Each structure stands twice: as structure tokens, then as C-alpha cells.
Amino acid sequence: MDRNGEKKNNCRFADKVRKCFAGRRCHEEIAPLSKKGHPGRVKVCKVTGDRKICARMASMGVYPGVEADVLCSGGGNRCVLKVHGGTISLDADITANILVSQL
């Protein structure tokens, strides 16, 4: 809220972190990123875990509503994501906390 009592519409980092806990729903079938068996395009539906994990993922550009390319899927071990023009390598613990739907 600003001084006049009007609601501000700012896109802040804190807002992106809050979206992780908002429980947005995807219309398609969702599953953890570690369970997606083949490369392709995915949409991030939810990031679960504690605040630290959620904040770390948001700082790297992985938050609900973002579309990403899965470059290689290591059978649940490791995953490489291409998000916002950058490439991120994620371990099995983190990929289990990212719920995605196939595009």
C-alpha cells in the first residue's frame, strides 16, 4: 500500500517467492520434474519445500508459471533446465520439489 491507501502493483522478488506457496493449479497432469522421463518443454506449476529452496529457485528464475526446456533427464538423478536463456543443473533432491506439467 502506498501513502494514499492504494494497492501498489509491483513485481518484486518477494512476490515470486510467495507464488511458490500459493498453490496455483495447472490444468494438465502434474508430476515432479524428477519423474518426467523425457526431454521437452514443461511448465512449472509449483515449487515445494522450505523457504530456502523456494527462494533459491525463484532467484534462478524457476517459479510457478514459467516455461522451461528440459535438456536432458538423467532418470531422476540430475536434470538440466533451460530457463530465461540460461542453463541450470539441478540435483535429484531439488527436482523432486519442482512440480511441472508437459507442454
Q: Is the predicted pLDDT of residue 10 greater than 60, yes or no?
A: no
- Per residue in 17-60, pLDDT (tens digit) is 566 555 555 656 888 888 876 788 999 999 998 999 999 999 99
Of 99, 94, 86, the residue nearest 55 (C-alpha): 94
Distances (CA, A) of 23 to 38, 84, 97, 99, 100: 25, 22, 13, 11, 13
Amino acid present at 52: K
**Structural domain contains residue 11:** no
Domain containing 75 equals 29-102
**Structural domain contains residue 72:** yes
- Per residue in 55-71, pLDDT (tens digit) is 999 999 999 999 999 98
Q: What is the CATH number of the domain that holds 51?
A: 2.30.30.90
Domain count, the chain: 1
